[in-house]
Amino acid sequence: MRNRGRVCFFQGKFVTAREDFRAGLKLRPDNMRMAFWLYLANGRAGVDGRPDLASFVQNHAEDQGWIAPVLKLYLGVISPKQCLEAFAHHSLKMEKEEKCLGHFFVGQYYLTKGKYQEAKKSFAKCLDSEFILLNEFHGARVELERLAD
């Protein structure tokens, strides 16, 4: 469900993506990443998912892992700069992966705030990571194409 949801998200089918992420959460109710993608799809579909995300984070505080700074950014606890700084670099591979993820989600954050130039910069930095193994890398390319229109 998560992969199909992301495909729909990147195709601009945000309502369908929401349905897939919601169905995925029913199968794995503790999946923090799925809950976050549901939040993003909700926002792009015009639905305020922040209360649901805040509740989910509160109920799964110990399970946040690498996505914790991203969640804190979207919940207004930290700034985009602090979010990016929170990604520690353990190796070159991890540095590239973290740069890709961090800049993709910061770019999405800027989109939710209507800050399109900042979003473009973040998505471009995501692509600079050259970490093509992540869906977020390819998603950054899609978002840049949308922003160019």
The per-residue pLDDT for range 85-94, each reduced to its tens digit, is: 887 665 666 7
pTM: 0.88
Whether 81 is covered by a domain: the verdict is no
Whether 74 is covered by a domain: the verdict is no
- At 88 the pLDDT is 64
Sign of CA dihedral 143, 49, 85, 68: negative
Alpha helices by DSSP H, 1-149: 2-10, 14-27, 32-44, 50-59, 68-74, 80-85, 92-112, 116-128, 135-148
Whether 80 is covered by a domain: the verdict is no
The residue among 105, 111, 113 whose CA lies nearest residue 137 is 105
pLDDT bucket at 68, cuts 50 / 70 / 90: confident
CATH, residue 46: 1.25.40
- At 14 the pLDDT is 96
The residue among 110, 84, 109, 80 whose CA lies nearest residue 99 is 84
The mean pLDDT of 62-66, rounded to a whole number, is: 71
Q: How many domains does the chain have?
A: 2
- At 92 the pLDDT is 62
Whether 55 is covered by a domain: the verdict is yes
Clarify whether residues 94 and 148 are in a common domain: yes
Domain span holding position 30: 1-63
